[in-house]
């Protein structure tokens, strides 16, 4: 096995790490920085930029600069999340032929996995430059509350850029690994992960090298982007009241506002107030208008308090599912850049009755945990005996009259396998349609459809006589495989639950050839 890297593909920033002497080490990008903006931009000349240079294009080239794509990966265009994002984003979105969301670039479209592959490919290049040799294997992290479609789309992105994914690991679990290896502490750990686009809470138990995830919960559409947007909305509303001009219709102005909002948010984590100064936000031959406002921490906290409060029910659910109370938790760790906000730290401290631990870097620890997982896989890390993660959603199949039979329960340790017997509902029924669903709703229509397949060739018999075993298997990456077998005939059918959305295997391979072909390289700040 060659070099294996650990990658945290973040909504706003990404990070890559490797294991050296049993310790995780962050690999700097080509500019010497530990993290890379998860941004891809295309210039008018057709040049592709990734990272910091792409981020610099955001104001001057907003319609061809793609950011926060992680929030779109594995999503349908008609989903509430995508529809909410539409007016916020300067670049265009449209519905793909299979119903997925597609990103508009001039007269063509790109899929979210394709853009994510460009970010991953840049991180791969950074690692290869660092080592001076090719890198083809990786452990990649995803939010714990990512569903099957989002996980598969992330793996597709890695495949497109030429990476073989040895394992997909949940971000808070990776952070727990990194913390556990460094602190050498046993006990119950709560990992509160509020990043740029997603929120997860994971409760795990560390005991002499065994990391057992007890429960996980979260919101795959809550993060720092929402905090930025609150400042942006405040600026737009105030400017409209003062001038009568609606900046929300001006993509260039919106991008300047977004950058200013993110900068102000970061500064307010360390200062009591900050000034937002945007000269010539609107300018024409008749007049020029400017924005110059002071934003205080209390005002910012008031405008975002509900976002922080939205995390609390998820913590409560995770603790309830783990059969624990807040006072039982021994260690609380914060992950994700948004946890630097004093209001977030205070909310977490009040909930658990203890201050969160400050030793780990919230931006780098997930990638470091991924590197540790690579060491577990190849035997470099021997003092971490076992990692037991869980599935974040229940799984089952549709039964007659919109019924739902749950087969895999939420928070079941993975990998796992479970078999359940079913039968026919009509006399002489020769085929059975199996509709695989994800969720905890008591009706089939309340859950998310994952896949549909049929078992054909059942021997004619009265309804209720045939015995059909349906087997659900979830691998260590959290990906699902379902099979059905007729006991009488021995006929079986199996499907790797590749969501009805997403790229096909042929499309992934075509994009892989495209990205590795001539002219595929992206420019960075170093050339």
Q: Active-site residue numbers?
A: 8, 70, 171, 193
Helix H or strand E encompassing 13: strand 13-20
Tell me how long the chain is. 527
C-alpha–C-alpha distance, residues 409 and 416, integer Å? 11
**Of the candidates 475, 407, 409, 465, the residue with the CA atom closest to the CA atom of residue 432:** 465
CB 190 within 8 A of CB 201: yes
* Long-range CB contacts for residues 509-516, cutoff 8 Å, separation at least 24: 511/111, 511/113, 511/114, 511/117, 511/160, 512/159, 512/160, 512/161, 512/162, 515/114, 515/117, 515/118, 515/121, 515/160, 515/161, 515/162, 516/162
Provide the sign of the torsion angle of the four alpha carbons 58, 64, 65, 67, taken in this order.
positive
Count of alpha carbons within 13 Å of 145, Cβ hemisphere only? 21
Rounded CA-CA distance 384/394 in Å is 28
CA atoms within 13 A on the CB side of 526: 10
Name the nearest CA neighbour of 180 among 352, 356, 359, 21. 359
Place of tokens 């099979």: 483
Contact (Cβ atoms closer than 8 angstroms) between residue 145 and residue 193: no
């Amino acid at each position: 096995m060659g070099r294996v890297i650990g990658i945290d593909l973040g909504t706003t920033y990404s990070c890559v790490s490797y294991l050296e002497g049993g310790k995780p080490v962050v690999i700097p990008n080509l500019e010497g920085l530990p993290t890379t903006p998860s941004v891809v931009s295309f210039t008018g000349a057709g040049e592709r930029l990734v990272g910091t240079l792409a981020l610099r294009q955001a104001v001057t080239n907003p319609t061809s600069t793609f950011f926060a794509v992680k929030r779109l990966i594995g999503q349908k265009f008609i989903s509430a999340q995508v529809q909410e994002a539409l007016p916020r984003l300067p670049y265009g979105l449209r519905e793909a032929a299979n119903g997925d969301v597609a990103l508009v670039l001039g007269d063509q479209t790109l899929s979210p996995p394709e853009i994510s592959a460009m970010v991953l490919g840049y991180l791969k290049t950074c690692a290869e430059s660092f080592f001076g040799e090719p890198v083809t294997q990786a452990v990649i992290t995803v939010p714990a509350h990512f569903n099957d479609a989002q996980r598969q789309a992330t793996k597709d992105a890695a495949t497109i850029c030429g990476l073989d994914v040895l394992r997909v690991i949940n971000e808070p679990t990776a952070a727990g690994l990194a913390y556990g290896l460094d602190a050498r502490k046993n006990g119950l750990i709560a990992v509160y992960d509020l990043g740029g686009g997603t929120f997860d809470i994971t409760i795990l138990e560390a005991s002499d090298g065994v990391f057992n995830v007890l429960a996980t919960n979260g919101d795959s559409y809550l993060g720092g982007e929402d905090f930025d947007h609150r400042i942006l909305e405040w600026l737009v509303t105030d400017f409209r009241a003062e001038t009568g001009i609606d900046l929300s219709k001006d993509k260039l102005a919106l991008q300047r506002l977004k950058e200013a909002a993110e900068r102000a948010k970061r500064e307010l984590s360390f200062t009591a107030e900050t000034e937002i100064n945007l000269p010539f936000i609107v300018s024409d031959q008749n007049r020029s208008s400017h924005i110059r406002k002071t934003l205080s921490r209390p005002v910012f906290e008031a405008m975002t308090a509900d976002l922080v409060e939205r995390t609390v029910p998820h913590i409560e659910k995770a603790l309830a599912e783990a059969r624990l109370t807040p006072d039982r938790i021994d260690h609380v760790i914060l992950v994700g850049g948004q946890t630097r906000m004093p209001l977030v730290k205070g909310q977490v401290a009040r909930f658990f009755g203890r201050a969160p631990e400050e030793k780990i870097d919230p931006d780098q620890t997930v990638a470091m945990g991924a590197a540790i997982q690579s060491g577990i896989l190849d035997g470099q890390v021997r003092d971490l005996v076992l990692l037991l993660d869980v599935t974040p959603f229940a799984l089952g199949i549709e039964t007659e009259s919109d019924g739902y039979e749950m087969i895999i329960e939420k928070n079941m340790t993975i990998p796992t396998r479970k078999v359940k017997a079913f039968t026919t509902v009509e006399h002489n029924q020769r085929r059975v349609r199996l509709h695989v669903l994800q969720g905890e709703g008591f009706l089939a229509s309340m859950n998310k459809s994952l896949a549909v397949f049929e078992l054909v060739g059942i021997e004619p018999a009265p309804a209720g006589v045939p015995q059909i075993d349906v087997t659900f298997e979830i691998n260590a990456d959290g990906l699902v495989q379902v099979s059905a077998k007729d006991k009488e005939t021995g006929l079986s059918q199996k499907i790797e639950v590749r969501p009805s959305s997403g790229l096909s295997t042929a499309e992934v391979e075509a994009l892989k050839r495209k990205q590795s072909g001539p002219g595929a390289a992206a420019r960075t700040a170093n050339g």
